[in-house]
Structure 1
Amino acid sequence: MRKMKIVGMVGILLSMVLVLVACGGEAKNIAIGPAGSATNTVSKLILDSYGIEEGDYNAYEEGFGDAADGVQDGNIDISIGILGLPAASISNLQASAGDVKMLSLSKDAIAHIEENSAYREFTIPKDAYDFLEEDVTTVTAYAILMGNTDTISEELGYELAKVMIENSSEISHAQGAQMTLDNALNGLEDLPIHPGAAKYYQEQGLDFDNPIAELNVSDQPSELVLGTGSSGGTYYPLGGEMATVWNNNIDGINVTNRETSASLENLAAMRDGNMDLGMTVHGPAIDAVKGQGDFNEPITNVAFIGHIYPEIIQIVTREATGIESFEDLAK
């Protein structure tokens, strides 16, 4: 009897081993972005589109810079980031690791993401990075600038929008080239627009029918805080240059960029009166003003000031992991 029990236990253990092998062994370590960030939200949506639930993987809530270090060290298997194209952090990772692989999303996954968010299909061309051997299918949204309607006057909103467009050549970051009049209203969609920005764009001949936000500015502050993102991503360095350009071209203000966990934190900080300007993906901004998604109630004191650059979901691993797609994790 005892021998039969041992044999039975061995059989159960063997079955467990076979299941683990079939599932790719241990749960993978996936960097999904900081808590309270748009990266975190869309990462969970991407994983959900493959039927990968919390508990099926080890979640690392890291900014992309720290996550890239983890990928290089082998401590993180997959890192998901919302970044400009090309992203210096990915190029730097390839220079250090030498075997970076970028994952594509399946058609079914993209359909699920489009149905449940503001992200839309996007193709990363193979010439975007020297390590790509083929185009990569992913999704994109827009990085936009939102302003606090309790602290940004009509005059200042006008100047902020104007300088973003007319002085963007002073920005050395690659994404500065995206701040053009042709792109200025990308991401506006269902958002209220700041009256100062609206005035500038109307003067430039741009058409839109969005509601004009109401202002409640009693005393225009001279010291302004711009919420950006993690230091390893695109928002923080780009936001620093944007602040410098504003400071150099708008009299009477001083904009300081602040490192944050990005979109959700920036929108909440403006709601709470702790921030004047915030960089965000347009999807969470729409959720914020409608009081949906990650926001239980509408945020009524934020308004669109301008488009910054297209946000591309970029998912990286290393050849050493053996991961070819998210299907490998869903088996």
Structure 2
Amino acid sequence: MNKTKMRALLFLVIGLLVVLSACNGGSGGKKNIAIGPPASETNNVSKLILKAYGIEDGDYNKFQEGFGDAADGVQDGNIDVSIGILGLPAGSIESLQASSKDVKMLSLSDEAIKYIEENSGYRRLTIPKDTYDFLTEDVETVTAYAVLMGNTDTIDEELGYQLAKIMVENASENTHDQAKQMTLENALRGAEGLLIHPGAKKYYEEQGLTVDNEVAELTANESDRKTEFILGTGSQGGTYYPLGGEMATIWNKHIDGINVTNTETGASVENLASIRDGNMDLGMAVHVPAGQALKGEADFKDNEVKNAAFIGHIYPEVIQIITREKTKIESLDDLK
């Protein structure tokens, strides 16, 4: 074989290797998986889910970004699988389907769900196939609850009462899809094991609910209440940020003398840590890390949050794992 033919053959082999590598998700056949921002509950539960399938950190290419950016990566083909904690239905997933036309949502196996339930506060949930127009069957996954936590050093009893009351009684003013979940019937979902703010407890008991939670002690006092408050939410591409923005607007409308500003964050873990450190007054969080924060567990080991209390339930937080049909990924087993 002459040098010209050998060179052509070499280029052909290299080209085939590049194509095969791309089809297998990059270098070494590893898949590109978006697991959420560092110091977020999405990041924590993503690792737990992957561990349930025997997939460790070094087994995949890790993308740590908010769900909005991750969805863009899925659309562009740079990310194979994205794991998110979102409401149902999630607007970002509907937008991705509108642009890509081939979104696939992955179910968790019974064995994986059992492992997750045994090692966290998440519980099984079935996503009905009519939730999204691209689903052809129900999807098995796990869920937790998004809750509002308040800083007991800055949210006094009367303000806690008003925040809880307006969350429930003025939820109809909120145009976000998940606002319909903020009802009196749902008000204590996710509160199990959490300290409750005395103002919120007072409101819920006035409405006839039974509140068994231990009541938080406050250092905040109405007489020296400040006027500017910070609400920690999440990434702009997720549910927390837009929903929290509307919640803040409604509080500002109905509570005299205060201004609540929502801010983009890494979500649950960052919000809870910011409350602990005195940099935040209100924070949206999954109830699982909220419990860990108060007990000094997981991300909060030896650094618990002593000044946070439950104010109210926001909406169910559902794990949703998406890919595209063109990846040929049928389940998380295919990521091994």
TM-score norm. by structure 2 comes to 0.91
Query: 1:91, CA displacement in angstroms?
Result: 0.4
Identity %: 71
The residue number in structure 1 matching 2:6 is none
Higher mean displacement: 213-222 or 75-84: 213-222
Contact kept, 8 Å, 2:204 with 2:211, in 1: the verdict is no
Gapped runs of 5+ residues in structure 2? 1-16
Q: Deviation per CA, 1:233-254, whole angstroms, max 9, x where unpaired?
A: 0000000000000000111110
Match of 1:303 among 294, 301, 309: 309
The residue number in structure 1 matching 2:40 is 37
CA separation in 2, counterparts of 1:185 and 1:329? 37
Q: Quick one: which amino acid aligns to residue 294 of structure 2?
A: V
CA separation in 2, counterparts of 1:67 and 1:78? 9
Query: 1:42, CA displacement in angstroms?
Result: 0.2
Matches within 5 A, 1:62-211: 62-211=65-214
CA separation in 2, counterparts of 1:107 and 1:78? 20
CA separation in 2, counterparts of 1:80 and 1:328? 15
Secondary structure of 1:59 counterpart: strand
Q: Quick one: which amino acid aligns to residue 195 of structure 1?
A: P
The residue number in structure 2 matching 1:5 is none
Secondary structure of 1:260 counterpart: coil
CA separation in 2, counterparts of 1:98 and 1:217? 51
CA separation in 2, counterparts of 1:38 and 1:166? 29
CA separation in 1, counterparts of 2:226 and 2:196? 20
The residue number in structure 2 matching 1:282 is 287
Query: 1:274, CA displacement in angstroms?
Result: 0.2
Gapped runs of 5+ residues in structure 1? 1-16
Contact kept, 8 Å, 2:126 with 2:140, in 1: the verdict is yes
Q: Which runs of 4+ in 1 moved over 6 A?
A: none
Query: 1:298, CA displacement in angstroms?
Result: 2.1
Q: Quick one: which amino acid aligns to residue 333 of structure 2?
A: E
Q: Deviation per CA, 1:12-49, whole angstroms, max 9, x where unpaired?
A: xxxxx9xx9xx986100000000010000000000000
The residue number in structure 2 matching 1:242 is 247
Secondary structure of 1:216 counterpart: coil
Contact kept, 8 Å, 2:125 with 2:140, in 1: the verdict is yes
Secondary structure of 2:58 counterpart: coil
The residue number in structure 2 matching 1:323 is 329
CA separation in 2, counterparts of 1:190 and 1:325? 34
Q: Quick one: which amino acid aligns to residue 128 of structure 2?
A: P
Structure 1 vs Structure 2 CA RMSD: 1.4
Q: Quick one: which amino acid aligns to residue 253 of structure 1?
A: I
Q: Deviation per CA, 1:153-181, whole angstroms, max 9, x where unpaired?
A: 00000000000000000000000000000
CA separation in 2, counterparts of 1:262 and 1:66? 15
CA separation in 2, counterparts of 1:119 and 1:143? 12
Query: 1:329, CA displacement in angstroms?
Result: 1.5
